Structure 1
Amino acid sequence: MEIPAIDQPGLSDDLIMEILSWLPVIYLLQFRCVCKSWKSLISLPSFVKLHLERSLKNVNLFLTLNDLNENAVSLMCCDKRSFLEYPSSVISDHGGGVPLKDKYWVIGSCNGLICLHGSTFEDGEFEVAEYDCGEYWFRFWNPTLGLRSKKSPLLCVDLDHFDAIECGFGYDKASDTYKVVAILSNTSAKEDSERTQVKVYTLGDHCWRDIQPFPAFPYNFEKQGRFLSGTINTLALQNFSPGYNLGKVSIDQLVIVSLDLGKETYQQFLLPDVVNEAPIHNPTLVVLMDCLCLSYDYKTTHFVLWQMKEYGIEKSWTQVVNISYEHLQIQRFPFPLPGPRFYSSMPLCVSENGDVLMLIDDQQYEMILYNMRDNKVQHADILKNRFQIFAEDYVESLVLPW
């Protein structure tokens, strides 16, 4: 598309576009009022994409704060470096975040858009036994622009058949579309064909579509697929059958299933080749520094973190952290409920230089900063037992949520 002519002597249209593309969104919103031609330029799809390319180099954090005392959920964006250095001050300076009036949960962040999930259940949980059918919807929000889409078409789930749902949100560059993936699973189904169903919603469409069944059984304690390199990635169990003991899972029983959002086909990757095959607890997939990472609790004594240095290359798995809870100054107590669940520590984010890892421990909801270079541990000055915190990488953008 041809760039609108801009009456500005001495500067070419291309140069003005280049200069503006480096500016923060807050200034661009103001510059739209300078003249009609600037407003037209800033609204161009080509400019939005160029600005996004620049913004991807300035990654911030998008935080979900679950206030355990007030039973309320708030959202906030913040500078990653500031949050790693002064987490409590950052949360205070932002007034504790923007409160969510509706019962929404954050599914993911991509190119400046936040995907929010809601349901007809009052408590917003995924499984509610007294309902026969669950109705779920999704909304897309650009916090920087202050724009939010309408609710997506309802995703209706037969709760008599499916007992869990895992969702992922990402971007398909080939078709320039944003997609939500919902993986439904049934732990008691006897036939493989009845165990999973996968549905996809493309932003702007009017319905959900069925795609190929999931090739393994989702190991979905986190209930969130991880977006990376045009794919949604999920931990899954090989050779699953009803009665499977989820509390005794070794690494060789798990795989990563990667769904290509463009082709809508699957790949499977093996996890790190670990000689000791003792059961692990709470294996979790995260994306840190644009790499897929696997964390887990080993023998309830150590926190372990692996990084896949090259996406899809199984030989590139590298162990980056193996540290005792004693060194992290975390006391482990038995989990109060029966079943496969254990207390664990989950990575939130990593500093830009890769030295400092921030963890949140779900036993006391305490933040821990671990300097991997000098092996030092610092407990963050945020109130214990107050906030349950989830973090997503976030970039400011001009991308519209519809």
Structure 2
Amino acid sequence: MSKLRTKIEMSNLHHELKLNIFSRLPVRVLCICKCVCKEWLNTISNPHFLRLHLERSMSNRQLLLLNQTSHDDDDDRPRQQIVSFFSASLEGDLQFRTMGFVGGYIHLIPSGHGLICLVNKGNFYIFNPAMKKAIKLPKPKRSTCKGIDGGFGYIPSTNEYKLVHLYDENENEFAYSIKCEIFTVSDGNRSSSWKQIEAQCPFIVRGWGVMANNKFYWMVWEGCHPELKELIVSLDLKTETFAFVPHPHVNSHVEGNDMFLAEVQGRLCLMDTFAHPPVTHIWILKDPMKKIWEKHCTIDLTKLEGFYNEPIQIFVLGQQNDEIVIRIQQELNFFNIRSKVLRRSTANLSLQRETGLCLYTDTFFSLGR
């Protein structure tokens, strides 16, 4: 009787009020709601509603944690790798998700939006945490170097995800020839193969690429000994060409310090991963065309409770409302851009050294069959 009464009460609500209620529900709940009646199915499937739900989800991005049983890339045993995904709200509510891979480390490449990319033993997988769906992509080109370089990002204008794979085809260990292939995933469909582009990446890069303004950006591996102003390389997806991006002078840079790239609200940002003295600056690429940087904020790590005066490695996961989400060692922290307050998470997430972390957006994006 209570279910019937709820259905009757919902049917009497104004359409705009229904949209308001539905748009605040997670995807997994809405998938159940679509089965209740034809009216709900039509409402939730409407493109206008899908856009409204995505906008709401973008302002309430969730934290995804990846735990795994093995992190040895040399593990060739044909056994299943146990991987656990925890979709945690920033308040600490947890929901358990699992899927299996073969033995070896699972690399997590975030897109900053609804889907993430996972790499296991040279194979790429696309995963939608909200729908609990994953697909395995066709085998990429073999790289003569052991490392895997690439990037994964979302293009709102075309509603597509782009996966970039950089690989070395030079057999000489003292030389390199970095080629690039791209895989496209559309809503409900995906490419049947990788697309090879003509341009070569001018240098070996390090870390996963960061997408902002329809371009991927990487830090250049300093072992290549480029010019000091050429430590960032970009790939324009429209022209399929590589270019260098001059970067600002980083005051806290010390010997052995790695600069780090991240995406913050659709824009490229640069920071130090080791800060000493313990103040780190985050720069935003304000004008991508003129390559003009602007200091976004300054974070004083001495304000952290239990701070130790030593070089500290930090990673920016993204921005949630007015707070930048930062991983400092095994802790999750939040820096409020307006109040300049740095706080530590109260959620007991039990982070391990090998725990993967990223922010993602709840989405109906379909990976097809």
Normalising by the smaller structure, the TM-score range is 0.7 to 0.9
Aligned residue number for residue 122 of structure 1: none
Q: CA deviation at 1:371?
A: 6.6
1:137-176 maps to which residues of 2 (within 5 A)?
137-149=123-135, 151-159=136-144, 162-176=145-159
Counterparts of 1:3-402 in structure 2, within 5 Å, are 20-21=22-23, 23-43=25-45, 47-65=49-67, 73-80=83-90, 82=91, 90=92, 94=94, 97-103=96-102, 104-119=106-121, 136-149=122-135, 151-159=136-144, 162-185=145-168, 194-203=176-185, 204-220=190-206, 222=207, 224-236=208-220, 244=224, 252-257=229-234, 259-274=235-250, 279=255, 281-297=257-273, 301-302=277-278, 304-308=280-284, 310=286, 312=288, 314-318=291-295, 320-321=297-298, 323=300, 328-329=307-308, 331=310, 344-350=313-319, 352-354=321-323, 358-361=326-329, 365-367=330-332, 373=339, 386-402=352-368
CA gap 1:198/1:140 in 2 versus in 1, 3 angstroms:
same
Q: Distance in 1 between matches of 2:270 and 2:351?
A: 26
* C-alpha displacement of 1:272: 0.7
1:207 Cα deviation (Å)? Answer: 1.1
Instruction: Describe the shift of the 1:176–1:163 C-alpha distance in structure 2 as closer, same or farther (beyond 3 A).
Output: same
Shift, 1:292, TM fit: 1.9
After TM superposition, give the deviation of residue 277 of structure 1 in Å: 7.8
Q: Which whole-Å CA distance do the structure 2 matches of 1:111 and 1:324 have between them?
A: 28
Deviation, 1:20, is 4.3
Q: Deviations over 1:93-151 (max 9, x none)?
A: 527x43443253321235422222222xxxxxxxxxxxxxxxx33222222222223x1
Provide the rounded CA distance (Å) in 2 between the counterparts of 1:13 and 1:299. Answer: 52
Match of 2:77 in 1: none
Structure 1: give runs of 5+ residues left out of the alignment.
1-7, 83-89, 120-135, 333-342
In structure 1, distance between residues paired with 2:11 and 2:296: 57
Q: 8 Å contact 1:189–1:195 — kept in the other structure?
A: no
Q: 1:17 to 1:264 in 2, by over 3 A?
A: farther
Structure 2 counterpart of 1:129: none
C-alpha distance 198-376 of structure 1, shift in aligned 2 (>3 A): closer
C-alpha change, 1:311 and 1:50, in structure 2 (3 Å) is farther
Partner of 2:4: none
Q: CA deviation at 1:29?
A: 1.8
Distance in structure 1 (CA, Å) of the matches to 2:43 and 2:303: 56
Q: TM-score, normalised by structure 1?
A: 0.67
Residue 378 of structure 1: CA displacement?
5.2
Query: Matched residue of 1:55: which SS?
Result: helix
Which whole-Å CA distance do the structure 1 matches of 2:12 and 2:344 have between them? 54
1:155 Cα deviation after fit: 0.9
1:65 touches 1:387 (CA, 8 Å); kept in 2? no
CA 1:359/1:251 → structure 2, altered by over 3 Å: closer, same or farther? Answer: farther
Deviation at 1:197, TM superposition (A): 0.5
Report the CA distance shift for 1:266/1:163 in structure 2 as closer, same or farther (over 3 A).
same
Rounded to whole Å, the distance in 1 between the matches of 2:341 and 2:25 is 38
CA–CA distance in 1 between the matches of 2:111 and 2:328? 19
Q: CA separation in 1, counterparts of 2:274 and 2:11?
A: 66
CA distance in 2, matches of 1:252, 1:374: 30
The residue aligned with 1:336 is none
- Distance (whole Å) between structure 2 residues aligned to residue 371 and residue 225 of structure 1: 26
Deviations 1:20-39 (A, max 9, x none): 44544244223212223532
Residue 210 of structure 1: how far off its partner (Å): 0.9
Deviations 1:206-228 (A, max 9, x none): 111111334431331x2x11122
CA distances 1:157-184 after superposition (whole Å, capped 9, x unpaired): 142xx34331211223444332210112
RMSD value, Cα: 4.2
Find the aligned partners of 2:282 and 2:65 in 1 and give their Cα distance: 23
Read off the aligned partner of 1:205 and give its amino acid letter: S
Shift of 1:152: 1.0
- Secondary structure of 1:306 counterpart: strand
